[in-house]
Amino acid sequence: MTMNTQEFTCHPRPKFTIESRANLIIEGWDQARLSIESDAPTNCIETADGYDIRSRGHCKLYLPKEAELTIMRANSDVTLSDISGAINLRKMGGNLRVNRIHNIVVGGVSGNVTAENVLGGFKIGGAGGNLQLNNTQLIGSTGVGGNASFTWIPQNGQHLRVHAGGNIDCQLPADATAIVNITDHEGGHKLSYGTAMPEGDDINDNDIAQISLVCGGNAQVHCPDPARKIEHFASGWGRFAQNMERELDQFGDWFDEFGVHIAVNVQETINRNLGHALDQLRRQFAKAEWHAKREAFRAERHARRNGEEFNGRGKWGGPWRKEAPEQAAPRNYPVSPASSSATAIVTPLAPPPQRIVIPNDTVGDQERLIILQMVADKKITVDQAEQLLRALA
């Protein structure tokens, strides 16, 4: 592939406006000039404070590190590195990779986003794929179709929302004072961090940094200091779906900032991943219910057979075998008149297992399945399950 090279002289802090139809690579250097390498004709028009660049093919730009960039549109992948000036990227059709830059604002990216060593923070409206921020702080609300991993440094009064179709991994500093609201496939809970967190009536949520994490997978928060308080505000996939629907309604308004086409792609990806998560959860509940019914049937059959044996009858209805008096086992339980002889050997049995009585008319199917699964996993007892069902009723 033959690459064409163009070079232009510019002052140390120029401004560039760029459009690209193919892959775009931009690197900063210490020279006060612009170098363009491309495999197709590239138009470069000098303006009052910089250059206006239009590229039709694969293009690589070398420009001063202090330059300011405005990328109006990029139809394919974009890579940015070693730039200390402000960067504004409006619309992207491919993947975005940035490294060693100072500050960047991104409208929307159809693919994946990877950022490392962004000193001034990273702000992005949305991404259709995954979001991976390493040694980079997220400074604005966003939504992604895949997984999201980022660092958040809370500031008083700051309220952020992060929506993801997959998993969310959020890293907090050790001295963070913030409230983290999580809604994922396990339900919802609220985490409070920081020794400076006020107690009781002194809490004003508007003055405390808050972030809402909403995802179709698992949401995890990592902080050197553990959460001081954990509150559960939703459980079960039914309530999760209601929470998710409410959050997505608010999230939909943000998409207007970075184009309808990318917005639709991101929304479809999120909805598709959430649908898969909910379907998987329904299958798990159905399987748990099936196992619970099977075990209940086995327990009932076992108890019925044991009842017959306890009344002095054998497995097939015949009398028990007689043995010598000196071999008879001591018994301290009643027997039926048919086998009241002192020489009868009757095996003591454990009481039949308890059965859970579920009020079908007042408790939803999802809540019953969740409670049955908790009993099957031995997280709660049968008595606790019945108390929980009565409370829900």
Tell me the per-residue pLDDT of 146-156, one tens digit each, with 9 for 90 and over: 999 999 988 88
* Beta carbons of 101 and 84 less than 8 angstroms apart: yes
Average pLDDT, the chain: 76
Strands 178-184 and 122-124: unpaired
Beta bridge partners of 109: 92, 127
* Beta carbons of 154 and 172 less than 8 angstroms apart: yes
Tokens representing residue 80 in the block: 């940015």
* Beta carbons of 160 and 141 less than 8 angstroms apart: yes
* Beta carbons of 136 and 152 less than 8 angstroms apart: no
Residue with tokens 């775009």: 24
C-beta neighbour count of 68 within 10 angstroms: 18
Secondary-structure percent of the chain, ordered helix, strand, coil, rounded to 5: 30, 40, 35
DSSP state letter for 138: B
Is 50 exceeded by the pLDDT of residue 331?
no
Which residue has better confidence, 194 or 122?
122
Is 50 exceeded by the pLDDT of residue 313?
no
Tokens representing residue 189 in the block: 């809970």
Q: For residue 256, what pLDDT band results from cuts at 50, 70 and 90?
A: very low
pLDDT recorded at residue 233: 54
Mean of the pLDDT values across residues 318-333?
Answer: 45
Whole-model pTM over 0.75: no
Q: For residue 235, what pLDDT band results from cuts at 50, 70 and 90?
A: very low
How confident is the model over 130-174, as pLDDT tens digits?
A: 999 999 999 888 989 899 999 998 888 888 899 888 899 999 998
